[in-house]
Structure 1
Amino acid sequence: MALALATGALHGPNAHAGSQKEEALADSVRLALSNAILDSSPPKPSFRNPADQQRYQVWLAQMSARLQRRLPDQQVRTEFLETAWYEAHRAGLDPGLVLGLIQVESAYRKYAVSMVGARGYMQVMPFWTNVIGDRNRSALFNMQTNLRYGCAILRMYLDMEAGNLYLALGRYNGSRGRPEYPNAVLSAWQNWKFKSPL
């Protein structure tokens, strides 16, 4: 399988992961990331009130309609969106931003592999499994694992950049300071912004 994944068939023009850098992390940051990744609880959203739950249901229906062409199987699409919403909120990110990043990184291909070896929906570099995970690189093709890693890493970069999304996205892609990647994600985010009728 690894050989098949390394072939050009899975490298496409839409797998845009750059050469992410393995940075020296403070022990506290490494521990926080590791704890975030190791919590394997399934994505079970909880809501403070019925209005929040209704807003989530409307979001889910809206995003499902937008994603139908890319993920035609309804069950796969629903599980993907539930997980993306859960992991984005868990990391303090806008789910639309995460969906936009996935559009740019992998075009919603679960088994996408970039030219530099980044894997899955959010094009997570395998070195992260050594730094904060259990060294199981194949787990990066698991939907929830990939989304959890990607969201936790983007959150860390946002914190490192004092909330500057443009610079955080550059770090995520390994192209900090260059405009192409952040601009592509910010543009894709517009496609996934939630328009609440409530």
Structure 2
Amino acid sequence: MGVAGATALLAAGGWPSRAWAGAQVEEPLADAVRTALSKAVANAAPPRPQFQTTEQRIGYLRWLGAASERLARRNKDFDSRREFLQTLWYESKRAGLDPSLVLGLIEVESAFRKFAISSVGARGYMQVMPFWARLIGDGNAARLFHTQTNLRFGCVILRHYLDTERGDLFLALGRYNGSRGRSEYPNAVFAAQRRWG
């Protein structure tokens, strides 16, 4: 599916039928960056959201209910939807990202398919390129199909690109997809994000 086709399908509220990852480029990382990213993906904290106030917890529970309802057409099992969404919330917040952005990115990248593989080899929900497992992980690219590992890598990588692009989400999304400077992919993610917001 081309970028224009995927954008039209997403604008119509549909789900892409295959993974839509671009040719994300393996860039050299400074040792300090590599170390920081490695520590970010290695922390094995369980994905249990923590809240400082009752209002925050109620907000999360509302979000969880609404997102679970929307995701039900893709995943019929309530427990697996809840676990996925709980992990997504945790990893998004841990990386300082909006969960609706991460849901939009996953909708565009893999249509919520855990075992999606793109034509360039990107894997899982967030279509993480295998070279990241070598650069900042343990080298085992098969682990990128594990839900928390995939979401953790994807969120950490997107945060890295957002920091690299000095907070410019449009450019960070382009870098994530390997289409930096072109509008089709970021616009598709933004359109999907609005449906999850």
TM-score (structure 2 length as normaliser): 0.91
User: 2 CA distance for matches of 1:98 and 1:171?
Assistant: 15
Determine whether 1:98 maps to 2:102. Answer: yes
RMSD of aligned residue pairs (Cα, Å): 0.9
Distance in 1 of aligned mates of 2:75 and 2:88:
14
Offset from partner CA, 1:107-156 (integer Å, 9 cap, x none): 00000000000000000000000000000110000000000000000000
Give the drift of 1:13. Answer: 4.3
| Distance in 1 of aligned mates of 2:171 and 2:75 | 30
List runs of 5+ in structure 1 lacking aligned partners.
Answer: 1-11, 194-198
Q: Is the 8 A contact 1:14 1:104 kept in 2?
A: no
Partner of 1:21: 25
Q: Which amino acid aligns with 2:116?
A: A
- The answer to whether the Cα contact below 8 Å between 1:37 and 1:148 also exists between their aligned partners in 2 is yes
Taking the TM superposition and a 5 Å limit, the aligned residue runs for 1:5-154 are 13-154=17-158
**SS of equivalent residue, structure 1 residue 108:** coil
Structure 2, gaps ≥5 residues long:
1-15
* Deviation of the 1:41 alpha carbon: 1.6
SS of aligned partner of 1:58? helix
Deviations 1:82-122 (Å, cap 9, x if unpaired)?
00000000000000000000000000000000000000000
Aligned length: 182
